[in-house]
Amino acid sequence: MNSKRSATLFGLAKKVIPGGVNSPVRAFRSVGTDPLFIKKASGPTVSDEDDNVFIDYVGSWGPMILGHSHPVVTAALKAAVDNGTSFGAPTELETRLAEMIIDALPSIEMVRMVNSGTEATMSAIRLARGYTGRDMIIKFSGCYHGHSDSLLVKAGSGGATFGVPDSPGVPAELARLTLTAEFNSLESVRTLLDANRDSVACIIVEPVAGNMGTIPPDDGFLGGLRRICDEEGIVLIFDEVMSGFRVAYGGAQELYGVTPDLTTLGKIIGGGLPVGAFGGKKEIMEKLSPAGGIYQAGTLSGNPLAMTAGIATLQLLKKPGFYSELEEKSRMLAEGIAKAAASSGYPVHSTRAGSMFCTFFTPNEVHNWSDASSCDTLAFAKYFLAMLEEGIYLAPSQFETAFVSAAHTFREIEKTIDAASKCFKLIV
């Protein structure tokens, strides 16, 4: 595979951008190579600056559920551009998209638009703290909720210890307000609550973990969190930035039948443009300024281009049979890759929730970060590079989710499975 121009562009980028990229995982460091620079994308494929074409399972890290450059979405955007790109004032588009979100997720009675998933989770936590009058929060090891200070924290030693900063620049005093539990372990949550009675404002969780690979919730885990929050007067926040409109039209809360108090959204609701949102019960949301005293603001929030792309996308997702067809493609792909690994004699653990899937390079089941972190990342790196040579573009990390889009045909899926069969044999 020729990547000469990408290599040249990366060299130039490193002179003016820290690490040469604007988000760390794009640097391809964990797979031991330099990143590809993408020039264009269409349907299920991306093309790099060296004119290599790849079947894409990154999907801009989740938003491109329709595939790239969907003609309906791009036509709507082209028309919207002629009306202006930003107003800093209310538009009908904001209300229309808000109504569509509320219609899709019954747990949301009111919604506030923002510009990113990080902004959504940061704002939801501030709202939960203001609503409850408490300062502490509980998150789960391996669940990523953006890069705000309160959330760049990992657990200390022992189940009930305070958090410590996971990045320089995060004040230890702030990190101590973040407690870290183990995903899929209600016992770890109860241990933290016993040690910090009446101090926890919210529990924030990815209902389908997507930032340590794809890890679905164990039976009873989400329902158990709901009961704990009801008993303790704690706000339950589902971070559905990734799973919202991805695993089902109503998100993971529809798929698993558990209702949070607040939900954060992003990715798909902007149709590929920068966007975020958070919403929930009216009694909580009305505490936000200017209706209430909890401040949150954003100059570009509700940007008309992002709202336009989001509306066009959600309208297409509502078509009958959309999710059932996507489910079938995703099942075929995930099972096909797992069978390819098994036939080669290489042990993997395959997980999937809707059109999110992951191949863990371990023979053991994966239920939490401890399980995921035991994977053979060197073997994954070999697999990644081999798949790239076969024209398959995966996320450059063992701990990321792969995404299937409606634009992937059974032909692309079969080609991907065939490529996986070849590549697993190279690492046995």
- The predicted-structure confidence for 111-162, as pLDDT tens digits, reads as follows 999 999 999 999 999 999 999 999 999 999 999 999 888 787 753 323 333 4
Residues 278 and 215 in one domain: yes
Q: Measured between alpha carbons, how far is 310 from 300 in angstroms, rounded to an integer?
A: 15
Residue after which a domain boundary falls, among 262, 285, 317: 317
Give yes or no for a contact between 194 and 232, defined as CB atoms under 8 angstroms apart. Answer: no
40 and 62 both lie in a single domain: yes
What's the CATH number where 151 sits?
Answer: 3.40.640.10
Is residue 214 located within the same domain as residue 83? yes
Angle subtended by helix axes 71-81 and 304-317, to nearest 10: 150
Which tokens belong to 44?
Answer: 């299920």
- CA 251 to each of CA 6, 120, 356, 360, 402: distance values in angstroms, whole numbers, following the listed order: 36, 16, 12, 24, 17
Residue found under tokens 């004119």: 51
Q: Which of 258, 251, 216, 220 is nearest to 371 (CA)?
A: 216
Same domain, 32 and 128: no
Question: Which among 267, 329, 346, 393 is annotated as catalytic?
Answer: 267
Contact 271, 313 (CB under 8 A): yes
H-type alpha helices, 154-199: 172-175, 186-195
Indicate which residue of 57, 131, 139, 144 is catalytic.
Answer: 144
State whether 305 and 328 are in the same domain. Answer: no
Q: Are residues 290 and 421 in the same domain?
A: no
* Beta strand pairing call for 349-353 and 356-360: antiparallel
Q: Which residue has the tokens 């902004």?
A: 119
Length of the chain: 428
Pick from 250, 240, 178, 236: which is nearest to 209 by CA? 240
Alpha carbons 387 and 130: distance in angstroms, whole number: 48
Please answer whether residues 296 and 85 qualify as being in contact, where contact means their C-beta atoms are separated by less than 8 angstroms. no
Predicted confidence pLDDT, tens digits, the chain (428 residues)? 899 999 999 999 999 999 999 999 899 999 999 999 999 999 999 999 999 999 999 999 999 999 999 999 999 999 999 999 999 999 999 999 999 999 999 999 999 999 999 999 999 999 999 999 999 999 999 999 998 887 877 533 233 334 456 678 888 888 889 999 999 999 999 999 999 999 999 999 999 999 999 999 999 999 999 999 999 999 999 999 999 999 999 999 999 999 999 999 999 999 999 999 999 999 999 999 999 999 999 999 999 999 999 999 999 999 999 999 999 999 999 999 999 999 999 999 999 999 999 999 999 999 999 999 999 999 999 999 999 999 999 999 999 999 999 999 999 999 999 999 999 999 87
Would you call 239 a catalytic residue per the annotation? yes
Catalytic residue among 239, 261, 371, 376: 239
Q: What is the side-by-side strand order in the sheet with 178-181?
A: 110-114, 276-280, 262-266, 235-239, 200-205, 136-140, 178-181
Judgement on whether residues 265 and 309 belong to the same structural domain of the protein: yes
Domain identity same for 204 and 308:
yes
Q: Are strands 402-403 and 392-393 parallel, antiparallel or unpaired?
A: unpaired
Tokens of 274: 């920068």
* pTM of structure: 0.95
Q: Which of 298, 317, 336 is the last residue of a domain?
A: 317
CB 124 within 8 A of CB 262: yes
Do 96 and 172 reside in the same domain of the chain? yes
Indicate if 114 and 233 belong to the same structural domain.
Answer: yes
Question: Which SS3 state, helix, strand or coil, does residue 18 take?
Answer: helix
Whether residue 56 lies in the annotated active site: no
Residue 166 backbone dihedrals phi, psi, to 5 degrees: -100, 5
- The amino acid present at 210, given as its one-letter code, is G
Instruction: With beta carbons less than 8 A apart as the criterion, state whether 143 and 206 touch.
Output: yes
Residue 32: domain span: 4-69+322-427
CATH code at 19? 3.90.1150.10
149 counts as catalytic: no
CA distances from 206 to 198, 236, 238, 306, 330 (A): 23, 11, 6, 24, 20
Same domain, 282 and 151: yes
Which of 300, 317, 334 finishes a domain? 317
For residue 166, the tally of other CB atoms under 10 A from its CB is 15
pLDDT tens, position by position, 189-228 = 999 999 999 999 999 999 999 999 999 999 999 999 999 9
397, amino acid identity: S
Q: How many domains, the chain?
A: 2
Same domain, 380 and 330: yes
